Amino acid sequence: MIDNYTHELVKKSELLPVHFSHSTFDPITVPAHWHDYLELLYLQSGSMTAIIQGQPYSLCPGELLAVNSLEIHMTHTTEGSHYFLLQIPSALMQEYFPNFDQLHFQTLLQVCHDSKSLAKITDIFNQLFQSYHLKEDGYQLLFSAHLYTLLYHLYKQHTTLISPNIESPKRDFNRIAIIMGWINQHFHSPLTLTAAAHKLNISKEYLCRLFKKYMGQTFLEYLYTVRTMNVYEKLKKNDTPLTLLLEQSGITNYKIFMRTFKQLYGDTPRNIRKQFE
């Protein structure tokens, strides 16, 4: 079973068939994960970098990122990044697009290439926000009208049909998903690339290539990301000495831990802990 570190479910907004939010975030890295829904992120301020299926992307204000269903991805936002987030379940998409499994939404819409289209998208997201924020009687209908206008625009202007999934990519995705779940369940134990490859009955070299291709990370980088996230959560909740937290999380290399922690949270464990005292 793959837990929710790697596989997210849509947390639907009140009385709506989708999740919609409008937020400002401190610097944060969301580690590699996947989900069975379409995710649209419209950046208003700040900056964001993402790795989707092993490919890097950079967002500037006014640009849109689309993460298609079952794409493994990770993101990093800078301080004060302000954006709209829209998550649409695959089941809803399939009601209107029977070929949704073969429909690929353009990953990145950039100001320099898609300015006219982005102007339309900006207007729709603002309308979504207004209807959701005001919550006037019957707002769900108005919100849904804007939602379907957005999907129609993206479908007509920014989608392509891809070939049906062939066996090899599907098998490789399943392999990565299995190892991600295995790491998240057993990160506190000694885990090695050799053991991971043995679990899948493939070579270490092949598993390394899969990690780079789908995640843009090495096996060790992802393992330390998960372990470091566990340390962070415990730092916020108790005053257990850091050395003991590292031991409980399976961390044996302090240098790698510190580098990973700063990449994820932009500060030291000591300073992070002070914020929650």
pLDDT score, position 147 = 97
Neighbours of 125 (CB within 10 A): 21
Q: Is 80 exceeded by the pLDDT of residue 98?
A: yes
Q: Is 80 exceeded by the pLDDT of residue 6?
A: no
Query: What residue segments make up the domains of the chain, in order of their start?
Result: 7-161, 167-275
CATH entry 1.10.10.60 includes domain 167-275: yes
Neighbours of 5 (CB within 10 A): 19
66, two tokens: 């689309």
pLDDT score, position 167 = 55
Q: Which fold has domain 7-161?
A: Jelly Rolls (2.60.120)
Measured in whole angstroms, the distance separating CA 266 from the mean position of its chain's CA atoms is 18
Alpha-carbon distance values, 124 to 42, 84, 265 (Å): 11, 11, 32
Neighbours of 79 (CB within 10 A): 12
What pLDDT band is residue 4 in, cutting at 50, 70 and 90?
very low
Between 263 and 259, the higher pLDDT residue: 259
Q: Worst-scoring range by mean pLDDT, 10-14, 126-130, 185-189, 268-272?
A: 10-14
Indicate the pTM of the whole model. 0.82
Contacts of 149 (CB under 8 A, 6+ apart): 124
SS3 content of the chain, % helix, strand, coil (to 5): 50, 20, 30
pLDDT score, position 8 = 56
The answer to whether residues 188 and 126 touch, using CB atoms and an 8 Å cutoff, is no
Report the C-alpha gap between 133 and 147 in whole angstroms.
Answer: 15
Position 124: which residue type? I
pLDDT score, position 105 = 97
pLDDT score, position 247 = 95
State pLDDT tens for residues 164-180.
655 567 788 889 989 99
What is the overall mean pLDDT for the chain? Answer: 89
Looking at residues 228-247, what average pLDDT do you find? 92
pLDDT score, position 266 = 81
